[in-house]
């Protein structure tokens, strides 16, 4: 006979707002990984495709958007991990992650457009 499985609500195991902070921290690590992968893919595309496929300003915009998304994600993770001076004011981790998602979307869209042109 199989016993009934009990489910534990993660919010019950965490202490108050720490659950939300843990989710944001995991999401910021995920965003950092995505930005690194997208930047690596773009750099590989630059190596294999000639300059006739994409102009340097377009490549710079795409690479810059992806790199800034990674920087926003790392900054959000640092704020959530409380690394650095606690007196520093600035953007919240949620704002940094929203900016990172937007920049990653722009950069990835540009990367996919460039990739489609090379096919």
Domains of the chain: residue spans and CATH = 18-118 (1.20.120)
Q: Is 71 exposed, middle or buried (0-12, 13-18, 19+ CB in 10 A)?
A: middle
pTM for the model: 0.74
Whether 37 shows a pLDDT value over 90: the answer reads yes
What pLDDT, in 10s, does the model give residues 66-91? 999 999 999 998 888 876 555 557 78
């Amino acid at each position: 006979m199989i016993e009934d499985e009990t489910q534990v609500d993660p919010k019950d195991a965490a202490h108050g707002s720490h659950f939300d902070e843990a989710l944001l921290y995991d999401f910021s690590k995920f965003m950092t990984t995505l930005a690194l992968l997208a930047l690596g893919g773009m750099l590989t595309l630059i190596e294999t495709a000639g300059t006739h496929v994409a102009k340097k300003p377009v490549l710079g915009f795409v690479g810059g958007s992806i790199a800034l998304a990674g920087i926003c994600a790392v900054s959000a993770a640092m704020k959530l991990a409380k690394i650095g001076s606690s007196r520093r004011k600035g953007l919240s981790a949620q704002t940094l992650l929203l900016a990172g998602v937007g920049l990653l979307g722009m950069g990835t869209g540009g990367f996919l457009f460039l990739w489609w042109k090379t096919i």
